[in-house]
Structure 1
Amino acid sequence: MRSPEMPSPFDTPPPPAPLRVIVADDNPVVRAGLTALLSGRPDIAVVAEAADGREAYEAALTRHPDVILLDVRMPGVDGLSALPHLVPLAPVMMLTYSRESEIVQEALRRGAGGYLVHGEFTPDQLVTAVRDVKEGRAHLTATAAGALLTRLRSEDAGRDAAANSPTTSSALADAPFSPEPLSRMQPPVAQSRYQLSTREAEIMDLIASGMNNQQIAAACFISEKTVKNHINRIFAKLHSTSRAEATAKWLGTTPGSSGSRR
């Protein structure tokens, strides 16, 4: 007779505990969208939301997450400043609109386990990335992968230069990027010149990347009507009547512009 304490080989094993995730983003709409997306999966649970790096750190201390999704630009304590304090607590994946190569490289240098730029991944790819980062498998969207490749090439060039001159070395290896807190960084030139809000600048970036309104709405977790309202304001500020004209001004490719934005 089988002992009551001995499990039967025919018993169905209990499902594994869901991955515990913290979502840190200063935009409540983005947080809500990510939480709804991830919580809809049976093996993922969003255990806390945070509006800046300090809140993410405090939540991580008490909620013991398996993965932290972290935005870069947030008021208060920004993502890069919080990153070294979060990495010892749980794997961190950057999930952000920030696509500057210096920021991507610095996030990876500080221990981020992945870097996803909004608009460059599908919901299923995001879910896969969350699961993989927990297991130590890095995920990078196209922009982040390009930044990493640029860094590797720079380091290779630095090593070649060092072979010919022992007093020189890779700037990235010996003088890593040390940004000011992002809450004090100046906005991009075009954003400042045209007085676009942070959200309008994000949407203008997506327009310039070739996305249509439906894709922008999905990437930003907002309605298409809201996207259209933002675009109307953007066109007014850029004195443009078409996406092509607005993109040319935004990227600094129109005659008389003050140089490329990127």
Structure 2
Amino acid sequence: MTVTVLVVDDNPVVREALRGFLDTGGATRVVGEAGNGQAALALALRHRPHVTLLDHRMPIAHGLSIVTELARLTAVLALTSDASPEVIGAMLRGGARGYLVHGQFDPPELLRAVLAVAGGQGWLSPVAASVATSALRSQGDAERGRAAFGLTDRERDVLDLLSAGRSNAAIAERLGLTEKTVKNHLYNIFAKLGVSSRTEAVVRWAGPFDS
């Protein structure tokens, strides 16, 4: 199945570059472009793309103002230059399945992120995961909140590495585990946190962001 993509960014040069990365006749196909949030919603209704790449800073309606409505129509992958914890947290709470920061990924990672999000998974670039983790650690009651989840020490180790953007293979290598054991830990972590994806687990572990 070819994954259809809507590109939403107010910069036409960025839109052209993203189309060049994704509209190559392979696993993904760009079905539309929008330069503002209002146009994005209209195109999402018309095309029902599998994934929408969503910028934050745009005229008429910015990304945060439409992410919740847009997420009801399509899987949203935030793709913006803003790496502030407030925006990252708000986008993810609003329904975005992933978050990429301009200048912090290459075309192969973009493709992997789009395919992962299309498949119902989450995707946080390392810089976004790092910001989320830093936001947590700046809160005075963070450890009390974490303790309430009842994770074991090993599950906390796995989740910390997941929050840093590590793959299952990288987590297994770092902790001296098999990938199957890492997957089992993630299954238990998801159950304890009450989530169903890697992105949701990172956000839940990071706790509330300032808005």
Tell me the TM-score normalised to structure 2 length: 0.66
Superposed counterparts of 1:204-215, under 5 Å: none
State the alpha-carbon separation in 2 of the partners of residues 53 and 32 from structure 1: 18
Q: In 1, are the aligned partners of 2:136 and 2:142 still within 8 Å (CA)?
A: no
For 2:204, the equivalent position in structure 1 comes to none
2:6 alignment partner, SS class: strand
**2:133 corresponds to 1:149:** yes
SS at 1:89's partner residue?
coil
Residue 91 of structure 2 corresponds to 107
Unaligned runs of 5+ in 2: 148-206
- Mapped to 1, the partners of 2:111 and 2:127 lie a distance apart of 19
Runs of 4+ in 1 over 3 A off after TM superposition: 151-156
Q: Does the residue aligned with 2:72 lie in a helix, a strand or coil?
A: coil
| Structure 1 Cα separation of the partners of residues 23 and 70 of structure 2 | 22
Residue 60 of structure 1 and its aligned partner are, at CA, apart by: 0.4
Identity %: 40
TM-score, structure 1 normalization: 0.54
Does residue 44 of structure 1 match 2:11? Answer: no
* Number of equivalences: 151
Deviations 1:178-207 (A, max 9, x none): 4xxxxxxxxxxxxxxxxxxxxxxxxxxxxx
Q: Match for 2:43 among 43, 49, 59? A: 59
Give the equivalent residue in structure 1 for 2:55.
71
Q: Which residue of 1 aligns with 2:121?
A: 137
Q: Report which of the two has the higher share of helix.
A: 2
Higher relative contact order (CA 8 A, sep 6+): 2
**Is the CA contact (8 Å cut-off) linking 1:92 and 1:113 kept in structure 2?**
yes
Structure 1 position 100, deviation (Å): 1.1
3-state SS, counterpart of residue 115 of structure 1: strand
